[in-house]
Amino acid sequence: MITWSYSSIKLFGQCPKKYYHLKVLKDVVEPPTQATDYGQQFHEAAEFYIKNGTPLPEPFKFAKNALDGLKSMPGEKLCEFEMALTEGLEPCDFNDPKRWWRGIADLVILNGEEARILDYKTGRSAKYADTGQLELMALAVFKHFPQIKRVRAGLLFVIANAFIKDSYDSSNQDKMWLKWMKEISRLKFAHESNVWNPRPSGLCKKHCLVLDCSHNGRN
């Protein structure tokens, strides 16, 4: 059974061969970078600040006003909230053997029939912001909390000082899922056929970790 997430389906779209090595064979591991370490530390600091008021470490105090704004919003706050769905789009435990999709929302705020979803970004630019992740999280919230009729969501770029927002209505769930099902059908076919064709780009020669590829200039 395939278990997928927003990041894995994006990776497959970028290059099926790279997906194969990182997610199927698992013979290549992306090493942590200074940027990923910083992002992980910020997410942890934000989680504990909103959850129980733990003071922000000095490097992250610049985001205090933004996080205070989130803390002041009415509703139940769920930090680093894990969600999973079966292939039948039923909510399930994050580690359920029947899980099909899963993801972790940085912050979910439940308030009556409305929810807010926030995803923190520590990149220095919001130029290439993609709200697809927010849409998937909203779809999962609709399944986990059937009382929710509307989701307001946003990508909070804490360093770039930008907020990319979108909103979703529960009445449009079926239409939104159709788009993702098309993406997953391609991934499913690749698994079933065991065909993982490379998709070359300008990043192949210097940046790709998959050395076993004719497009990689470092092999």
How do the domains of the chain map onto residue ranges? 33-183
Q: 218: pLDDT confidence band, cut at 50, 70 and 90?
A: low
The domain made up of 33-183 has a fold known as Lambda Exonuclease; Chain A (3.90.320)
Query: Do the strands 150-157 and 162-169 form a parallel or antiparallel pair, or are they unpaired?
Result: antiparallel
Question: Residue 150: which of 90, 109, 97 has the closest Cα?
Answer: 109
Question: Which tokens in the block code for residue 13?
Answer: 């779209």
pLDDT tens readout for residues 6-42? 999 999 999 999 999 999 999 989 888 999 999 999 9
Q: How confident is the model at residue 201 (pLDDT cuts 50, 70, 90)?
A: confident
Residue 24 in contact with residue 8, Cβ under 8 Å?
A: no
What does pTM read for this prediction? Answer: 0.93
Judged against a pLDDT cut of 80, whether residue 1 lies above it is answered with no
* Banded model confidence at residue 189, pLDDT cuts 50, 70, 90: very high
pLDDT at 202: 82
